[in-house]
Structure 1
Amino acid sequence: MQEIAPVPPEAQDVVVAAYRYQSGQPAQVLDIHHLAAHDPLQDGFIWIGLKDPSEATLREVGAQLGLPDNAVEELIAPHRRPKLLEFSNCLIVVAVTLGLKDLRPLLGTTQILIAHGLLLTVRRGSNSNYLPLRARLESTPALLARGSDFVASELLDLIVDQYQTSLEQTEKAVEAIEQQFLIRGFKENDVRRIYRLRRDLLRVHTAVSPLAELTRRLSRIELEYVDAESRAYFAEVSDRIARTAEFINSQRQALAFAFEGGLMIGQMQQTDTTRKLAAWAAILAVPTAVAGIYGMNFKYMPELEWTLGYPLALGLMGSVCGFLYWKFKKAKWL
């Protein structure tokens, strides 16, 4: 087996778990820096979990497990979208993980390498925890005996659970926005918040939805490292991811309706204000016109000599203004 320089001790914290599971025996802790040759028929099932490993760690583990160079390069390379890669002696599934911080999405990746009797998981940029799944499977050895492909399907199912947990929080935020819209409408900051949330949901949908097609492919295509018995589990995961993508779209549509409703209310308020201004302008135009005529100071204006000329002018202006106010009030412009 190829000689590789040992990884420094400070890199050991990248190992979340490394166990060998054999039928009728307790789980055996493995040292990833000293992995012996593995025969899945005799040595059982190995499950190694790494978190944010260095390139040197991945190369060492890959060499000890006998992984092809191109598979190791894929494990080292960063990914932003779900991906399925098949190699000479293994299969790599890249899944995007989702978390939330202050209602902002935190996207990470989990690379799942499936081989005969081997499951290697590499997590990056993710705070998700797979320990509950490991504990559940360890408590039921018959599940671990189904192989690495079954455990991979369970791991993908757990990732979908984390999708739904995060999306439940965004659903509450969307409902709060809708409630706010019904009570007091939107302000400028509210519009920015809606746009940001819709943009975040679009990012999540773009990152999550390809995983549905990827798992559907695992459930339908005959692959060397996925047994026929495990395909049904991948099909179920695919259906859950498809429903999750539809749920994301429904949240985006709810925000779109709220945004459009806010715009319509704003336009209605603006129209109402314009009507009020137009009505008051028409009312005030009457005294303005009469006062303007009297302000022209013509020499021959007989009404200037009338004793009742001033009261009549004021009465005329008041009557016309009152009539216009009544008409606009009746038309609900005021």
Structure 2
Amino acid sequence: MTIIAARRYLADPADPQGGRRASALELTGTPDAPGSRAGASGAFDWIGLCEPDHDEMDRVAHQYGLHPLAVEDALSPQQMPKLDIYQKHLFIVARTATLEPDETLTYGQTAFFLGPDFIISVRFGSERAHVGLRRTLEADPERLAEGADYVLHAILDFIVDGYLPTMESLEAVAHDMEESAIDAFPEQQTIRRIFRLRRQLRRFERVIGPMEEVCERLAETEVPLIDPTARIWFRDVLDHVRRTMARMRGLKETLAAIVETASLLEQHRQGEMTRQLAAWAGLLAVPTAIAGIYGMNFEYMPELRWHYGYFILLGCVGTICTTLYWRFRRIGWL
């Protein structure tokens, strides 16, 4: 069986040994006797599974009395975050997100079965194992003694905190593109990159967005098997999710603004070039028009046989062009 860890812990805060590991577990698939885990010591089991197959999951489900619909969802790694209440346990689905080197977001799934005296996590697709988290909690027996609902909070907080480096990496990519867009209009490859990231963020919102609703229910409503005193811990997770979603929406707006800002800057640069071309065209139009008139083959034309006509005509062309140049410079066209 793909078991990361299966241990039993004392969960009575009044017990000096509360929160300490009592014993390792063997998952036999045989249903435990009612109250055999909690008993007088208030123990609870914490079992971590990583990508189990159907036979392995059925064995755990039979031993702990898990609902078959919840088991089916736990083995389907494409579920959206949700919280389902069954008769004997809660079923919670959370999603993880990781940014790959090619700027693609990949998603994993962690499902939880929370009972009165057990918590079972089933992880698919996430490389962030809970081994280090388990060691951290075992080093703090006072918190671990609060029970399985506190372990649920700790794992959810661990998952949500994993969104932070992902968002920071995406924000760094967007910042680099934003800086380059100021200097020059983005190339076609950069524009494709921007729209690819926006598509990734839209999917991120669809996949991770329901996590906010799950944490809100855990933090602000009465949910079976969740101690009311534990809501404050889930409220902290809810705050983290909301901050992540706010940063994600801000990042989407930034990517949209990059294209819009670059387009405006490019239009401004093109306007400047158009004005310069128009100014030079106006300067060249004066001698062109005069030369075109005097280039006609007419016998009788003004000052055609005047001795100083050529020099006066050049002077007029120069004066008009100089005046136009000064005027265009003054209004910023040249």
TM-score bracket, normalised by the shorter chain, equals 0.7 to 0.9
Cα RMSD after superposing both structures: 2.4
Q: How is 1:238-257 mapped onto 2 (pairs within 5 angstroms)?
A: 238-257=238-257
- The TM-score, its normalising length taken from structure 1, stands at 0.86
Q: Which residue of 2 aligns with 1:17?
A: 5
Cα distance in 1 for residues equivalent to 2:56 and 2:296: 96
**One-letter amino acid matched to 1:171:** E
Q: Which residue of 1 aligns with 2:14?
A: none
Instruction: Identify the range of structure 1 (44-53 vs 271-280) with the bigger mean alpha-carbon deviation.
Output: 44-53
Aligned length: 321
Cα distance in 1 for residues equivalent to 2:305 and 2:233: 103
Q: Which residue of 2 aligns with 1:208?
A: 208
Structure 2 residue 79 is the aligned partner of structure 1 residue 91: no
Using a 3 Å threshold, how does the CA distance of structure 1 residues 271 and 80 change in structure 2: closer, same or farther? farther
Q: How is 1:55-204 mapped onto 2 (pairs within 5 angstroms)?
A: 55-102=54-101, 103-182=103-182, 184-188=183-187, 189-204=189-204
- The SS at the match of 2:238 is helix
Cα distance in 1 for residues equivalent to 2:307 and 2:79: 90
- The SS at the match of 1:164 is helix
- The SS at the match of 1:167 is helix
The CA deviation at 1:31 is: 4.0
Q: Which residue of 2 aligns with 1:7?
A: none
Provide structure 2 residue ranges, at least 5 long, that are not aligned to the other structure. 12-16
- The SS at the match of 1:81 is coil
Q: Where is the helix percentage greater, Structure 1 or Structure 2?
A: 1
Using a 3 Å threshold, how does the CA distance of structure 1 residues 271 and 48 change in structure 2: closer, same or farther? same
Q: Which residue of 2 aligns with 1:54?
A: 53
Q: Which residue of 2 aligns with 1:297?
A: 297
Q: Structure 1 runs of 4+ off > 6 angstroms?
A: none
Cα distance in 1 for residues equivalent to 2:5 and 2:257: 46
- The SS at the match of 1:303 is coil
**One-letter amino acid matched to 1:221:** T
The CA deviation at 1:191 is: 3.4
Q: Which residue of 2 aligns with 1:219?
A: 219
Using a 3 Å threshold, how does the CA distance of structure 1 residues 238 and 265 change in structure 2: closer, same or farther? same
Cα distance in 2 for residues equivalent to 1:80 and 1:193: 28
1:148-183 Cα offsets, whole Å, 9 max, x none, are 11110111111111111222222333333344345x
Q: Which residue of 1 aligns with 2:317?
A: 317
Identity of aligned residues (%): 37
- The SS at the match of 1:40 is coil
Cα distance in 2 for residues equivalent to 1:130 and 1:165: 17
**Contact 1:17 1:50 survives alignment (8 Å):** yes
**Contact 1:58 1:75 survives alignment (8 Å):** no
Cα distance in 1 for residues equivalent to 2:319 and 2:30: 102
Using a 3 Å threshold, how does the CA distance of structure 1 residues 173 and 245 change in structure 2: closer, same or farther? same
**One-letter amino acid matched to 1:149:** D
**One-letter amino acid matched to 2:154:** E
1:34-82 Cα offsets, whole Å, 9 max, x none, are 5662623138222222222223322232123221222222222343421
Provide structure 1 residue ranges, at least 5 long, that are not aligned to the other structure. 1-11
- Higher RCO (Cα < 8 Å, 6 or more apart): 2
- The SS at the match of 2:223 is coil
Cα distance in 2 for residues equivalent to 1:324 and 1:271: 19
Cα distance in 2 for residues equivalent to 1:240 and 1:35: 39
The CA deviation at 1:15 is: 2.5
- The TM-score, its normalising length taken from structure 2, stands at 0.86
**One-letter amino acid matched to 2:72:** E
**One-letter amino acid matched to 2:89:** C
Cα distance in 2 for residues equivalent to 1:36 and 1:84: 25
Instruction: Identify the range of structure 1 (66-75 vs 311-320) with the bigger mean alpha-carbon deviation.
Output: 311-320
Cα distance in 2 for residues equivalent to 1:284 and 1:99: 61
**One-letter amino acid matched to 1:130:** H
The CA deviation at 1:249 is: 2.3
